[in-house]
Amino acid sequence: MGVTDPAGPVMDRDEVDRALARLGAEHEAIETSLLALQDHAGRRLLEGAALTGVTQERWAAADASITLLWSCFDAYAAALRSAREIRSRRRWSSRDDLVELTGLLRGETVAVPGAGRLSESYSLTGLVDRMNELYATSLDLVVAADAVWSALPARIDLLAAELQRTRRLAHSVGVRPGEHPAGDDLERITRTLTALREDVVSDPLAFWVPAEGSSAPGGGRPDTTVYDREARALEDVRREIEAVLTVRQDAEARLIRLRDVLSRADRTLAEARTARGEVLAKIAATEVPVVSGPPTVLQERLAAAAEYRRKAQWHRLSPLLEALEQQAEDELLRARESLTAVTAPLAVRAELRGRLDAYKAKVARLGYAEDPLLVERYDTARRMLWSAPCDLRVAGQAVLRYQRAAQELLGTPRVPEDDRGERS
């Protein structure tokens, strides 16, 4: 069993040399990392920025950690320098030198001032672990802040430039705050981006999302939630402004089409009113729906649209034209439905006339045109269908009787009775 001291077995010369070589390599690596941290752009920005919020709080702690880190490094370098001096006293270290080196290299003999208490003592290996811990936490904060500053302000500035272009375009078509929702949206986006940039610059760590399970310094990503939301909102406004620009380009053609659709609807309603009078005169015992006149409100709104175009109020014209186009199509459809409903009895009479003549032609081809019963029933049905007013129910029964007589004569199956036929 070898000679021992409180630090454990006394190291031999080879162990001492290997330990000094390892600790020297650690010293160089730590010094390189500390100098890189000292020169890191993120650290310099943190030192010079007017910080607020969580960044101010965390940077104060990190700055103290970096100061402590340098104190640890200075103490480490001094201890390593002392160990090298002892080893360099003689080529073959004496037992007393080896005992002293063992205590210095393995014992907790390195005092670091200002580490929360007056001082703390570490072994050189323990001090390396402590410095690595301080370095990792400090670098993580510096890298995170630098990542946010590198990503978000530039993107916000680009979006703000696009916002200004959109504002100028909006102003050119009359889209202004208080007069159009898109103008209000642009004002809100402007305020939000201004506040966002100020917050990002003063409190970058508030916009940092750490990566789950990652221990690497700076593991995470900038939080772009607010930026992305405003970018989408600006894109929506830009599309709306483009729609207003499109209105400016084709407003006259759209107004002409609107006038044409409303004119067709008016003509269709006029035709329906005329047809209603004809039906009332020619068809007996029939309820004919009343045909309303053209809505004056559409003409008034069309006149307002023309006035907006004349005054270049494109932001007002755009939604009005869209609403009018749909309403005009609805009005034309309503007019056509009115015409169809009014002329339905005439269509029924025309169908009965056609059926009667079709059967007459059929029996004539087969040589039964002069059959007395057929002639009598045909004349009866025709007189009813061509008289005014025409009772469709009675006329339908007469046509059905003619059909049955023809079918019996020709030996074909009888037609089924319907609600216009007679029950016998």
Query: pLDDT tens digits for 299-344?
Result: 889 888 888 887 777 778 888 888 999 999 999 999 998 888 888 8
**Intra-chain end-to-end CA distance of the chain, in Å:** 134
Residue 54: per-residue pLDDT: 93
Q: Reduce the DSSP state of residue 9 to 3 states and report it.
A: strand
> How many CA atoms does the CB half-sphere of 250 hold within 13 Å?
8
Residue 210, helix vs strand vs coil: strand
Q: Does the pLDDT at position 422 exceed 80?
A: no
Radius of gyration of the chain (CA): 49
pLDDT at 2 over 50: no
Quote the CA–CA distance of 81 and 293 in Å, as a whole number: 107
pLDDT tens track for 384-409: 888 888 888 888 898 899 888 888 88
Interaxial angle between packed helices 296-310 and 225-282, expressed in degrees from 0 to 180 and rounded to the nearest 10: 140
| Residue 234 pLDDT greater than 50, yes or no | yes
Could you report the per-residue pLDDT of 149-163, keeping only the tens digit for each? Answer: 999 999 999 999 999
Q: Would you tell me how many other CB atoms lie within 10 Å of the CB of residue 300?
A: 10
pLDDT at 416: 54
Calculate mean pLDDT across residues 265-277. Answer: 88
Confidence band, pLDDT 50/70/90 cuts, at residue 410: confident
Cis ω before 389 (30° cut-off from 0): yes
pTM exceeds 0.95 for this model = no
Give the mean model confidence (pLDDT) for residues 55-72.
91
% residues pLDDT > 70 (the chain): 91
What average pLDDT is seen over the chain?
84
What pLDDT does residue 85 have? 79
pLDDT at 421: 43
Angle subtended by helix axes 392-410 and 372-385, to nearest 10: 160
Mean pLDDT of 138-142: 91
> What's the confidence (pLDDT) of residue 214?
59
More confident site: 107 or 359: 359
Task: Dump pLDDT digits (tens) for 179-224.
Answer: 778 889 999 999 999 999 999 999 999 999 988 765 666 678 999 9
Containing 357, the helix (H) or strand (E) segment is helix 314-365
Asked whether the predicted pLDDT for residue 94 surpasses 70, the reply is no
CA angle 173, 175, 178 (to 5 degrees): 155
